[in-house]
């Protein structure tokens, strides 16, 4: 039975990174297609805007904003981790063998990434729905 909390927040961040990455790739492909309507003139562009500047479109864009901010912030944390930053120093292990790499700094960064994504989404909502 899937249990997202079984291995801690780092595992949750791993899954979220994959999901947001795929979501952003899908959005990116759609965005490239959407902007290509510019070449077909003003009418085609306006028709495309009518399709995307809707409540559903704004909700989707808000989700994209959240995914983008989380993927970026967590990606920077992961890249720093990959470079050995914040993973602790090797030392003689002693009971209860708490792993130094699973430290509060990385956990805090993950929560911060989620928090920043939420803030960005709220800002996005204020811009998209505020007009």
Partner 1 sequence: MAQEVSSTEISSSNVITLKIAKYNPEHDEEAKFAEFKVPYERWTTVLDAILDVKKHLDHSVAVRYSCRQASCGSCGMMINGRPRLACFTKISEIKSDVITVEPMKNYPIVRDLVVDLSTLISKHRKVVPYMVRDDSEITSPTKEFSQTPEQLEEYIQFANCIKCGLCNSACPTMATDSSFLGPQALAQAYRYVADSRDKGKDKRLKVIDESHGIWRCHFAGSCSQVCPKGVDPAMGIQLLRGYLLGFRK
Partner 2 sequence: MRESIIMKIHYGTALGAVALVAVHILFRITMMDYTESLQYENVLANYQFIPYAIMLELILVLLSVHGFNGLRVILLELKQGRSYERAVTYGCIAAMAVLIAYGSRTILMASMGMA
**Residues of the shown chain interacting with partner 1 in the complex, contacts defined by CB under 8 A:** 1, 3, 6-8, 10-11, 13-15, 17, 78, 81-84, 87-88, 90-95, 97-102, 106
d(CA 84, CA 114): 22
In the complex, least distance from residue 130 CB atom to partner 1, rounded to whole angstroms: 37
User: Which residues fall within 8 angstroms of residue 16, CB to CB, at 6 or more apart?
Assistant: 70, 74, 114
Which residues between 16 and 45 bind partner 2 (CB under 8 A)? 18, 21-22, 24-25, 28-29, 32-33, 35-36, 38-39, 41-42, 45
In contact, 10 and 105? CB cutoff 8 Å: no
In the complex, least distance from residue 23 CB atom to partner 1, rounded to whole angstroms: 17
CB-nearer residue toward partner 2: 39 or 98: 39
Residue 21 contact partner, candidates partner 2, partner 1, none, CB within 5 to 8 A by sort of partner = partner 2
In contact, 99 and 7? CB cutoff 8 Å: no
List contacts with partner 2 (CB under 8 A). Answer: 18, 21-22, 24-25, 28-29, 32-33, 35-36, 38-39, 41-42, 45-46, 49, 53, 68, 72, 75-76, 79, 82, 127-128, 131
């Amino acid at each position: 039975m899937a249990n997202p909390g079984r291995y801690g927040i780092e595992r949750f961040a791993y899954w979220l990174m994959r999901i947001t990455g795929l979501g952003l790739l899908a959005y990116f492909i759609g965005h490239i297609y959407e902007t290509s309507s510019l070449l077909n003139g003003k009418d085609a562009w306006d028709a495309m805007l009518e399709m995307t500047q809707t409540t559903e479109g704004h909700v989707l864009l808000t989700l994209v904003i959240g995914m983008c901010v989380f993927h970026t912030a967590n990606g920077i944390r992961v890249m720093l981790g990959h470079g050995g930053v914040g993973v602790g120093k090797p030392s003689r292990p002693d009971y209860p063998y708490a792993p130094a790499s699973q430290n509060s700094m990385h956990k805090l960064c993950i929560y911060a990434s989620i928090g920043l994504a939420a803030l960005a989404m709220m800002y996005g909502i204020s811009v998209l729905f505020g007009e």
